[in-house]
Every structure is written in structure tokens, then in C-alpha cells.
Amino acid sequence: MPITEILARNAEMYGHEKCLTEINMDLQEEHHVTWLEYELIENNPAGEYRREMTWRVFDEKANRMANLLLKRGIKKGDKVAILLMNCLEWLPIYFGILKTGAVAVPLNFRYTAQEIKYCLELSDTVALVFGPEFIGRMETIYHEIPQVKILLFAGENRPSFAENYDRLTANCSSEAPDIKLSDDDDAAIYFSSGTTGFPKAILHTHRSLMSACYTEFMHHGQTREDNFLCIPPLYHTGAKMHWFGSLLAGSKAVLLRGVRPEWILKTVSEEKITIVWLLVPWAQDILDAIERGDVKLEDYQLSQWRLMHIGAQPVPPSLIHRWKKYFPNHLYDTNYGLSESIGPGCVHLGVENIHKVGAIGIPGYNWEAKIVDENGIPVPQGEVGELAVKGPGVMKCYYKDPKATELVLKDGWLFTGDMARMDEDGFIYLVDRKKDVIISGGENIYPVQIEDFLRAHQAIKDVAVIGLPDKRLGEITAAIIELKPGFTCTEEEIKEFCRSMPRYKRPKKVIFDEVPRNPTGKIEKPRLREKYGVTRLVEALTER
């Protein structure tokens, strides 16, 4: 069943009920408007800070978008890109594209102009919807992308080279177009994180999208009473696929623009949020703010908050132990996935397995997993190998890249490039990325293990471990450490802290610097290697 039918069902069954709320905390602070003021004062500009949408309006807006595209000649299989910050328009535009039978192509809002151009060309995009934050970037490339025949602008102060999305869709029918869709039809292209250069285009079908709905729903048991807080960017599979559980349940969600701890807690309190998906840095920031006294939990209504789950990167067990100290009644889950596996859930811890914190978990609903050697043969229990997964959410292919596809898709199994091990109970532990393994004096060193150890230091906010060239050992470990505000530390203190580690794992070099992360929370190690002049043979050998 195509995912668009779930939206149509919700519009019919729950049409007048609120489904989405957008809260822009930056604008609220900029204008010094309190929530009470813009809730109660008639005709105040509340729409700038807090906007709502019902299921019926959601579906109607998606239909209007679909009918506009069809009127402009968009047909089944055409590619339509979205370049927007999180906003109330994002999901109706996405579903409008799907309703035409076209393929939605979400773009990373951090892309440079040239990266945008590259992705539009790689995906064969013929239409693009973009927002005001991207006018400058689009001005530099719009004349270089002749294949993009339709440029729609969603926002005020429309640039001359684009058409007005709001005005055009307002004049289109709100009735669903008569387009027949099947599970095997192409639905969306997502882009990889680009850790080895420009990103790859990952093609998914409608079956993939529906599998994400069921996986999320089965893992976290959303009901109509739940309210999901969505903070990560919607262009990424992570945020949207977790929201798909809310879509299937017909429950509410809030799009929060802003990640400060007090904003997150205030939104949870005021909006009666029950489920929150966080990235590791945001969870850490909340805990740090509590421990500094910057926020006081008693100032917020948090009793309805039942589930906090984390994904997109390895989760330090120490972080969850700290979290349970302040939020002892929360259910907790770790979610593992890739864009190639339609995002999170192909492996997950499970809320009933808090005793296994540190593991990424067991195969998710409708998924299989195995750990294999370089020949694809399963390794003995406890040994490290590459994690491979199989399920209905595995990508169709890397679009227009058969060689890269062949490297990672084998007999229906997706070879993830992540090194992992399995314990005696069948729980999988992520060791590191295949390309991030450091080989020092013939020993394989997994940076995640060292990073987890160092994060237990009270002065460390974030850490990344990379390999630096060494004439004698080939590589040595270097720890890039970002300290918490107000804390000081020396290289000698860090090395003393690491004395309980095996000697070969101890960082040989300590660098105090910021740790860069992408919008989904992953450490951008290629940026660090470039900054410190590292060219690694292992990356060239494992690039895919």
C-alpha cells in the first residue's frame, strides 16, 4: 500500500484534528513574545512563531501540490527536489510529490550551491521547491541547471527567477489526483552523508516508506494520544521515518526549530509531548544544562513524556546512565539504521532491553542481520566483522551508480560498512565504521571504543578519534577533544585518565578543538582529517 493512502485515511477519519504544529523558537526570542501573549492576543502575528495544521488541511495541501505539478507536466517517475528548512509546508510538499507518482528528492540544507547543483544533476531533478534561506545559493546556480524546468519558491520576497508556490497551489484543486501507485513504484531519493566525497543518490520505493511506518510503529507503540517532538531535519531519513509511526497511528507531532535545552524542555512541557527523538549532542546538552543549574526540571510539566530514543550515531552508555538518573521513568531505545535501509530501525535496542545499554540491539521488525568477514561469511559469535542487514526497507539501488550498488547489495543483503560484534544473547554492538578503523603496528583500533571511554571524563563535552600518519607504526591515534564551557584540561591529564586502557589503544596525541558534526549528529571525521592534513589509504580502499 502506498504511503499516500495513510494520509488520505487520516484526513477522512481525523480530518478536523490537529496533526502538525511548527514552533520557531528563534523568532519567538527575537521578538520577545511569550507563548501566553501569542496564544491569547487576538490578531497578533502568532503564525510567525507557532502554526498548526489539521489532517484534512495537510491532505488538501498535498493534493494541491500534486495537481500543480501534474498541470505543469510532471509525470510518474520524474524527480522533484525539496530544499527547505523544517517548516509546516515541508511534509505536504513531500506527499504532494508522491501523489503524482513522481520521486521526492529532499536536499540537505547545509549543501553549498555547488553541492545543490551536483545533487540536482545526479538525481535528474526537473522541478525544485526552495525556501528563503536558499535564495543566495540558488541565485548563483539557477542558470546552470537547465534541466530543472520548474522553480517554486515557498516564502515571502520571491526572487525573480522563481514562481510563487503559495499562490500557484492555492489555485489548484484540493481533490486527490487519479494516479495509480504500487508498492514497487519509485518514491524517493535520499543522499548519503558524503563522508568520502560528494553524496550518493539512494533510491527507495513506496514499499520502503511503508516498511518504515510499520517498523517505527511496532518498536515504539504510538497511539492516538501520543505527541512526537521532531527536531532533526526532515530532509534526512531519520526524523521523517520516526514521524511515520505517528502518521500510521494518526497522532500529533511538533516540528521544533531550535535545539537549546530550555527550548526542548519548554516545548515538551507546553505541547504535552510524549515521545522525543534526540541526537547525542542534544541529550548531552540537556544533561549539562541540568547539572549546571541552567534549567530546573521542576519548572516544566514532563510527567507525560514516556519515551526518549536516540539514533544516527553510536550512543555512549555513560550518557544513558546519566539520563536515567534525571529521567528514571523514561522508556529508552537506541535506533540504528542508514539512509540505504530507509533510516532507523533495521536494528534497535528495544525499550524492554535497557539492561543491554551499549548495544545497538537486535534486528528490527521485519529485519534480519548478520556479521560477516571480508568474504561475506558469518564470523563466530563475539568476533568483529561487517554488519549486513536485510529487509523490506533496503534501497533499490544507488541511482545511476551500478558499481557502487554492486559493492553493497548482495543477494538482498545490504553491507553497511559498519564493524560490529554479537554477544551470546544475540545483541549487536557497533564497533566502528570500516573506513574509520585505525591500523597501528598491525593492531586494529576502533575509535568508537576510545571515544566512549573519554566521554566519561567530567571536562569533556565531545571527542573524535582519528588516525594520524606515523613512519614506524603506520598510524597513531589522535583524540580531538572539545571541552565543556568553563572547564580546563591538559594533554597530560587526558593521558593519565587513559592509563586504565590497553596501551595500544591510548591516544598518542591529544588535540583540543571543536568536534564538527553534521545535522544528523554524526562526527565529520573527513573534515578533521583534512584539517590535520591526513590522507588515508584505508579510505581509498573502502570508499563506496
Least confident range from 338-342, 405-409, 499-503: namely 499-503
Final residue of a structural domain among 372, 406, 433? 433
278 in a structural domain:
no
- Average pLDDT score, the chain: 88
293 in a structural domain:
no
pLDDT at 513: 92
What's the rounded Cα separation, in Å, for the pair 224 and 247? Answer: 10
Longest pairwise C-alpha distance within the chain? 73
Regarding whether 324 and 224 lie in a shared domain, the answer is no
Q: Please return the burial class of 403, using the count of CB atoms within 10 Å of its CB with bins 0-12, 13-18 and 19+.
A: exposed
Regarding whether 172 and 34 lie in a shared domain, the answer is yes
CATH number at residue 115: 3.40.50.12780
Return the SS3 of 532. coil
pLDDT at 319: 85
CATH number at residue 535: 3.30.300.30
Final residue of a structural domain among 200, 232, 258? 258
Residue 263 has pLDDT above 50, yes or no: yes
pLDDT at 32: 40
pLDDT band at 143 (very low <50, low <70, confident <90, very high): very high
Structural domain count of the chain: 3
pLDDT at 35: 32
158 in a structural domain:
yes
Residue 544 has pLDDT above 70, yes or no: no
Q: Please return the burial class of 509, using the count of CB atoms within 10 Å of its CB with bins 0-12, 13-18 and 19+.
A: middle
Regarding whether 370 and 499 lie in a shared domain, the answer is no
280 in a structural domain:
no
347 in a structural domain:
yes
458 in a structural domain:
yes
Regarding whether 423 and 445 lie in a shared domain, the answer is no
What's the rounded Cα separation, in Å, for the pair 10 and 253? Answer: 14
What's the rounded Cα separation, in Å, for the pair 321 and 332? Answer: 11
Return the SS3 of 396. coil
Radius of gyration for the alpha carbons in the chain, expressed in angstroms and rounded = 23
Q: Which of 58, 52, 53 is nearest to 12 (CA)?
A: 58
What's the rounded Cα separation, in Å, for the pair 3 and 53? Answer: 19
Regarding whether 330 and 222 lie in a shared domain, the answer is no
pLDDT band at 527 (very low <50, low <70, confident <90, very high): confident
- Other beta carbons less than 10 A from residue 500's beta carbon: 8
pLDDT at 104: 98
Regarding whether 528 and 398 lie in a shared domain, the answer is no
* Residue 517 vs residue 278, higher pLDDT: 278
Final residue of a structural domain among 433, 468, 489? 433
Vertex 56: Cα angle to 278 and 74 (nearest 5): 85
281 in a structural domain:
no
Residue 460 has pLDDT above 50, yes or no: yes
pLDDT band at 213 (very low <50, low <70, confident <90, very high): very high
What's the rounded Cα separation, in Å, for the pair 285 and 306? Answer: 20
Least confident range from 8-17, 344-353, 399-408, 516-525: namely 516-525
Regarding whether 170 and 30 lie in a shared domain, the answer is yes
Residue 61, CB-side half-sphere exposure with 13 Å CA sphere:
19
Regarding whether 414 and 310 lie in a shared domain, the answer is yes
pLDDT at 139: 96
Least confident range from 231-235, 261-265, 351-355, 525-529: namely 525-529
What is 244-299 written as a DSSP string? HHHHHHT-EEEEEE---HHHHHHHHHHHT--EEEE-HHHHHHHHHHHHHTSS-GGG
CATH number at residue 397: 2.30.38.10
pLDDT at 60: 98
- Residues composing the chain: 544
Q: Which domain holds residue 225?
A: 4-258
271, 254 contact by CB (below 8 A): yes
Return the SS3 of 229. strand
* Residue 288 vs residue 433, higher pLDDT: 288
Question: Across the strands, what pairs with 106?
Answer: 82
Regarding whether 482 and 334 lie in a shared domain, the answer is no
Backbone angles phi and psi of 19, in degrees to 5: -120, -35
pLDDT at 15: 95
Regarding whether 463 and 367 lie in a shared domain, the answer is no
289 in a structural domain:
no
Residue 497 has pLDDT above 90, yes or no: yes
pLDDT at 251: 97
pLDDT band at 195 (very low <50, low <70, confident <90, very high): very low
Regarding whether 490 and 383 lie in a shared domain, the answer is no
159, 183 contact by CB (below 8 A): no
Mean pLDDT computed over 44-63: 81
For the segment 419-432, what is each residue's pLDDT rounded down to a tens digit?
899 999 999 998 76
Regarding whether 441 and 344 lie in a shared domain, the answer is no
Predicted model pTM: 0.81
Vertex 454: Cα angle to 449 and 460 (nearest 5): 145
pLDDT at 533: 64
Q: Which residue has the cell 526524523?
A: 239
